[in-house]
Amino acid sequence: MTDNENRGRILLSLTGWAPDVWLKQLAEAAPHRKTVVEPEGDSDPSIEYAVVWKPKPKVLGKLPRLKAIFSVGAGVDHVFSDPDLPDVPIVRVVSPDLTARMSEYVVWQVLDHHRLGPRYRQQQMDRIWEEDRDQPAASDITVGIMGLGELGTDAAAKLRCLGFKVSGWSRTAKSIEGVTCHAGNTGLGPFLATADIIVVLLPLTPDTREILNKELFAKMTRRGPLGAPILINAGRGGLQNEADILSALDAGQLSAVTLDVFHQEPLPADSPFWSHPKVTITPHSAAASMPASLIGPMVAQMDAHDRGEPFKNLVDRKAGY
């Protein structure tokens, strides 16, 4: 019996991504394990770990000796959508590379809106030269971050380095140096009343589904130096009510939005977001999950658990993230 056969196998179940590079990286990082893309039969006892992104429904329930599920993305709502999800630990990805990529995206979009990037691009298309437009300093702008986990905390630190005032809102109370923190239902109103640019990095749970809606937009400040606030959603598409976003833009409740995520992806060709003059679209590319930076830590956790060590970065099933 080979060493691969002595160790529990890994199931790789990805939707929307080609598996080849992941299989290659797993083979290099875990030569002592075999990785497969399909279980064998209706019950496969050889598979002990699953590496997934939007796995096929009911596949994970066919693995009686499954020890843990590893999500290759920052969000884990795609795992909970499985109707036959087995009661095993779910490990969320925490990667310095993914965190850095998300902070790069947040800083890029905050600066682009702050320095009137969409307006200048339109002026270039229209061949309009307009000088001396007033621009507030970064220190005059409050960036509010919804979601103060690993990604939100890092983005806040980088925005502070650029001189922005930063506030944050989370489900539970947090304390972050230099960030005005708000929490829970009572803290949401005060948070929205002061943020000029709102960055959304929340997990998708039953409590946060379509939290970006007309009731929330009505609570936002419209007295800041940018006028109506700017919304940047780099979290999950399910966080937003898309009809309410369009209505808020047309009514002047929002001055502009950047959306990296949507309810339906790819975004349909007939979506009004494509042509709306106040909308910036990116194709779910804020923070790509790169196998070279994720697979090593995953395999290390598998091996550590086989030695009797506890998993790190476990998902709280009750909270949903």
Tens of pLDDT, residue by residue over 266-294, are 999 999 999 999 999 999 999 988 999 99
What pLDDT sits at residue 2? 45
Give me the count of residues in the chain. 321
Q: What ranges do the domains of the chain cover? A: 3-95+289-306, 96-281
Radius of gyration (C-alpha) of the chain in whole angstroms: 22
How is residue 151 annotated by DSSP? H
Task: Supply the pTM of this predicted model.
Answer: 0.92
Whether the domain at 3-95+289-306 and the domain at 96-281 fall into the same CATH topology: yes
Q: List, by residue number, the catalytic residues.
A: 236, 284
CATH superfamily entry for domain 3-95+289-306? NAD(P)-binding Rossmann-like Domain (3.40.50.720)
Q: Determine contact, residues 109/232, Cβ cutoff 8 Å.
A: yes
d(CA 99, CA 288): 10
What is the average pLDDT across 248-262? 97
CATH architecture of 96-281: 3-Layer(aba) Sandwich (3.40)
* pLDDT tens string 17-32: 889 999 999 999 999 9
How do beta strands 142-146 and 197-200 pair?
A: parallel
Asked if residues 298 and 311 have their Cβ atoms less than 8 Å apart, the reply is no
